[in-house]
Amino acid sequence: VNKSVHQIVLGVFALTVALTTVCTAFAAEPKPEEEVRYRQSVFNVIGRNFSVLGAIAKGERPFDQALAQKSANIVEALSTLPFGSFGPGTDIGTHKSDPKIWKENAKFKEAAEKFQFEAAKLPAAAKDLDTLKLQVGAVGKTCKACHDDYRVKDKK
């Protein structure tokens, strides 16, 4: 039995090697343009899911606990991801990242950590509406602070 289990594991491993290439465009070190796209993707997904929580907090949407939980979990799970993709050389292409990000990186990191700190509390806060409202406000404040300082404004 042990031998055949071992063979199955080996066979599946070979299959894994063959198949994972399909979903793994980034197995090598990501290029700067991939980093830009990645952090933009993460922020886009965070923004969409946080907007669900924002609409619930504002009373524009009914409080659906399962939906709030799912959205909160996603914002929390993604909250640390973008900030690994602001490394040297990633100030290229089309983006709204302020050059200050690379010049005063320690301060930017601090602003990012404030967001992560508040986002980490969202999943627990999604259990009831009053707590969620408070925490959506706390997270929103960290979004705004970082956008004010480190995101280039859209031209009017």
- Of the two residues 76 and 103, which places its CB atom closer to a copy of itself in the complex? 76
Give whichever of 60 and 88 is closer to a copy of itself, judged by the CB atom: 60
- How many residues line the site for a copy of itself (CB under 8 A)? 51
- Candidates 96, 107, 109, 144: give the one binding a copy of itself (CB under 8 A): 144
Which residues in 96-109 are b (16+ Cβ under 10 Å) and which e? Answer: ebbeebeeeeeebe
Find the shortest distance in angstroms from Cβ 38 to a copy of itself: 6
Structural tokens at position 65: 């606990």
What's the length of the chain? 156
- Give the shortest CB-120-to-a copy of itself separation in angstroms: 13
Interacting positions 88-127 with a copy of itself (CB under 8 A) = none
Residue 67 touches a copy of itself, criterion: CB under 8 A: no
CA angle 18, 24, 29 (to 5 degrees): 125
Residue from 87, 89, 99, 137 that binds a copy of itself (CB under 8 A)? Answer: 137
Among 121, 124, 133, 149, binds a copy of itself (CB under 8 A): 133
Q: Which residues bind a copy of itself (CB under 8 A)?
A: 9, 12-13, 15-17, 19-27, 30, 37-38, 40-42, 44-48, 50-51, 53-55, 57-58, 60, 70, 73-74, 77-78, 81, 130, 133-134, 136-137, 139-141, 143-144, 147
